[in-house]
Structure 1
Amino acid sequence: MIIILFGVCGCGKTATGLSLSSKLHWRFEDADKYHPESNISKMARGEPLTDEDRWPWLRLLHIMLAKWHGDNQDGILACSALKKSYRRVLLTGNQSGNGNSLDQHCKLVFLHGSADVIASRLDARSGHFMPTSLLESQLTVLELPDKEENVLQCDITESTDQIVIHIINSLNLT
């Protein structure tokens, strides 16, 4: 199984992914490390990414997920995946949704919380290229998951440990 943790910057994708990875002994990757330098520089300057900035990055992540699946490797990916079309590219490799779909092998987990909680987390962290000023643009771009996507939702006001337990129990990973 592959778990894709998604949500806006500062929602706890990396912390949750690392904790979940530790408990399950699964591979963990943070999608941020796969951004090209041009994307990182743009975000560091406080400029939001465009769809055109994101498509190649998302297709690269799909290739990685497909390799995990092909190697029968369980894993966890932390990725913003703000729009439904972005999540579709992660699962199929293209925007149309046609292609080698990983739907049956991936579970999407949406980490969500209020803008105030997320902003306070962003203000408190250091050493990350994503400034708090980009939160508003991410919230504007965010498309909440619909029933068709069959997404597990986790409220980030819970502790990381509680979220991890919720994911493990909800996905029957015990």
Structure 2
Amino acid sequence: MAGTCVVVMGVSGSGKSTIAERLTARLGWTFAEGDEFHSEANVAKMRSGIPLTDADREPWLRTLRDWMSAESDAGRSTVVTCSALRHHYRDVLRGSRARVRFVHLDGDRDLIAERLGHRKGHFMPPALLDSQLAALEPLVAGEDGLTVDIAATPDEIVSRIVAFLD
């Protein structure tokens, strides 16, 4: 039986890791931090403040998709963090054999910038926020997904996601 994969998406600083970890704990599913699937070259580029191109992202997205398929084939449902900013990127992920559902963590630019300013030890510099916001293509009709305002508490967000999944 195919598993479900919830892709927690949004720009850097929107709370993907926090929400995904809490959602994983609540559901008892397998978790993957999408950033860990990036190549060393991609990480170095982002750390230097250079936005990734579609060509940079393509192998990363295919690797995530293949991991999601393997987990689904093993009967495991998963939660994955991935910016998934463009429709095309989400199309690649939907190529997984899992049922792929998206949760877009959306919010005010100033709130996200503030969160990025307090974050420590992440390779994604705050300077790339505007390029991510410019690239963002929100979920549209036909995409199996939910958009959640990040101004809510993490517990409220997770509860909304669980209700959506039911």
* Percentage of identical aligned residues: 40
Runs of at least 5 residues in structure 2 that lack an aligned partner in the other structure: none
Q: How does 1:86-105 map to 2 (within 5 A)?
A: 86-92=89-95, 102=98, 105=99
* Matched residue, 2:54: 51
1:161 and 2:155 aligned:
yes
Which residue of 2 is the match for residue 40 of structure 1?
43
Correspondences of 1:1-174 after superposition (within 5 Å): 1-92=4-95, 102=98, 105-172=99-166
CA distance in 1, matches of 2:71, 2:97: 13
Following superposition, the deviation at residue 101 of structure 1 comes to 5.3
Q: Return the offset for 1:169.
A: 1.4
TM-score, L = length of structure 2: 0.95
Note the alpha carbon deviations across 1:78-123, whole angstroms, 9 max, x for none. 100000000000111xxxxxxx654xx1211111001111000000
Looking at structure 2, the residues matched to 147 and 90 of structure 1 have their Cα atoms a distance apart, in angstroms, of 17
The offset of 1:150, in angstroms, is 3.0
In structure 2, distance between residues paired with 1:70 and 1:58: 18
Deviations, residues 142-172 of structure 1 (Å, cap 9, x unaligned): 1111112131111100011110011111211
Query: Cα RMSD over matched residues?
Result: 1.0
Structure 1: which 5+ runs fail to align? 93-99
* Counterpart AA for 1:159: T
TM-score (norm 1): 0.91
Q: Count residues in correspondence.
A: 163
**Structure 1 runs of 4+ with >2 Å offset:** none
> Which amino acid letter does the alignment assign opposite residue 66 of structure 2?
I
Query: Could you tell me whether the CA contact under 8 Å between 2:7 and 2:82 is conserved in 1?
Result: yes
The separation in 2 between residues aligned to 1:82 and 1:106, in whole angstroms, is: 15
Distance 1:3 1:101 in 2: 13
SS of residue paired to 1:130:
coil
| 2-structure distance, mates of 1:23, 1:131 | 30
Question: Does the 8 A contact of 2:8 with 2:104 survive in 1?
Answer: yes
